[in-house]
Amino acid sequence: MASVTGVSVADELPGPDGRGPLSGDNAGTGRLGDKAFAAAAKGSGALVIGLVTLVGVFLLWQAIPAIADDKVNFLTSREWSVSDSDNLRFGIVELLWTTVAASTIAMLIAVPVGVAVALFITQYSPRWLSRPAASIIDLLAAVPSIVYGLWGLKTFTPWFDPFQIWLSDHLGWIPLFSRTGTSGTILLIGVVLSIMILPIVTALSREVFAQTPVTHMEGALALGATKWEMIRTAVLPFGRPGVISAAMLALGRALGETIAVTIIVSTLPQGSKWTWSLLNGGETFASRIANNAGEFDSPAKTGAFIAAGLVLFVLTFIVNAIARIVIERRKAFTE
């Protein structure tokens, strides 16, 4: 997982061995408190790594036999029939498409809006407003996902439907917006997800923007930068790693969000025609697993769903790795 802010401490120069001055064992005094804290810190670190490894091992261990028994290609098939243990036929391509498409829509909305809100709170709003505004955004994170699900289904869907119809009427010639007649669409869950991840993007971006050194901001202003130019020259570049981390954390939530998606999205009947339309229903990895949680009665069948979970795990992992690489590549320029 990427560090939450991704900001490195500027004043801590590395020693001759390239490590920070107070890292490693040289700073320990050998007293009891020192030793106990070192052990607790190391233990917690090991625990997290151990847990992630165990989750990975569990997923692989359960999924591999099922994938081996799969009669169709696991990665490219659209079929999903697992009731007959001797004739397992399941593939994830449709789940992958729905999950990635909905999460991408959510990111396209939530990241710009979240960054804009964070900039408003840290740079533009009067002081008396910034605290309440930040708290209200944080409150969005405290709303349980089941509530988003119910709200999305009962309130938002009827309100959003005319827009979807308008979209397919006017832009239907683009495959992404062709008409399918469903209302619990990928686009709709993308929008609901964006509201759910907005507070994550906002809260973390706000933290890093607020840490922008005053000297950098004054440096820009003294060159004759307007407020927006100052933000572009000093605040945004400084906050960039933090915003990327925030976006990845948010993406992780969007990819894995289960109950709201399960409630809202219209599942497609088996064998329905493939379409690229975002105005189509579908199932994400998480909602497929949740929808079928009652049927985990044989190891083979369960294995099929766990294989789907494994793909989700790997997907999240890849996303985080990419974010890490993007941040590391510019590291020389962040200190």
Partner 1 sequence: MAKRIDVSDLNVYYGAFKAVEGVTMTVEPRSVTAFIGPSGCGKSTFLRTLNRMHEVIPGGRVEGKVMLDDQDLYASNVDPVAVRRTVGMVFQRPNPFPTMSIYDNVAAGLRLNGVKGKKKLDEVVEKSLNGANLWNEVKDRLSKPGAGLSGGQQQRLCIARAIAVEPQVLLMDEPCSALDPISTLAIEDLISELKSKYTIVIVTHNMQQAARVSDQTAFFNLAATGKPGKLVEVDHTQKIFNNPGVKATEDYISGRFG
Q: Cα angle at 168 between 167 and 169, to 5 degrees?
A: 90
**Choice between 10 and 142, CB closer to partner 1:** 10
To partner 1, the closest distance from the beta carbon of 128 in angstroms equals: 12
Using CB under 8 A as the binding rule, the residues of this chain from 131 to 170 that contact partner 1 are: none
**Cα distance between residue 58 and residue 142, in whole Å:** 31
- Helix (H/G/I), strand (E/B), else coil: 227: helix
**Choice between 83 and 226, CB closer to partner 1:** 226
Angle at which helices 186-210 and 127-142 pack, to 10 degrees?
140
**Cα distance between residue 187 and residue 195, in whole Å:** 13
To partner 1, the closest distance from the beta carbon of 269 in angstroms equals: 52
To partner 1, the closest distance from the beta carbon of 290 in angstroms equals: 43
The stretch among 18-26, 93-101, 218-226, 293-301 that binds partner 1 (CB under 8 A) is 218-226
H/E stretch holding 26: none
**Choice between 84 and 328, CB closer to partner 1:** 328
Measured between alpha carbons, how far is residue 218 from residues 29, 213, 224, 333 in Å?
Answer: 42, 9, 10, 19
Using CB under 8 A as the binding rule, the residues of this chain from 270 to 329 that contact partner 1 are: none
Among 16, 18, 162, 224, binds partner 1 (CB under 8 A): 224
Two tokens, residue 197:
């991840």
To partner 1, the closest distance from the beta carbon of 238 in angstroms equals: 7
- Helix (H/G/I), strand (E/B), else coil: 224: coil
* 13 contacts partner 1 (rule: CB under 8 A): no
**Cα distance between residue 257 and residue 274, in whole Å:** 24
Among 41, 55, 223, 322, binds partner 1 (CB under 8 A): 223
Per DSSP (E only), the strands in the chain are: 80-81, 89-90
**Cα distance between residue 153 and residue 317, in whole Å:** 30
* 209 contacts partner 1 (rule: CB under 8 A): no
Residue at 42: amino acid letter? K
To partner 1, the closest distance from the beta carbon of 215 in angstroms equals: 4
* 330 contacts partner 1 (rule: CB under 8 A): yes
Look-up of token digits 């002081």: 127
To partner 1, the closest distance from the beta carbon of 13 in angstroms equals: 12
Among 56, 65, 172, 237, binds partner 1 (CB under 8 A): 237
* 174 contacts partner 1 (rule: CB under 8 A): no
* 18 contacts partner 1 (rule: CB under 8 A): no
Measured between alpha carbons, how far is residue 242 from residues 10, 218, 223, 246 in Å?
Answer: 15, 21, 26, 6
Residues making contact with partner 1 (CB under 8 A): 10, 127, 213, 215-226, 229, 233-234, 237-238, 240, 330, 332-335
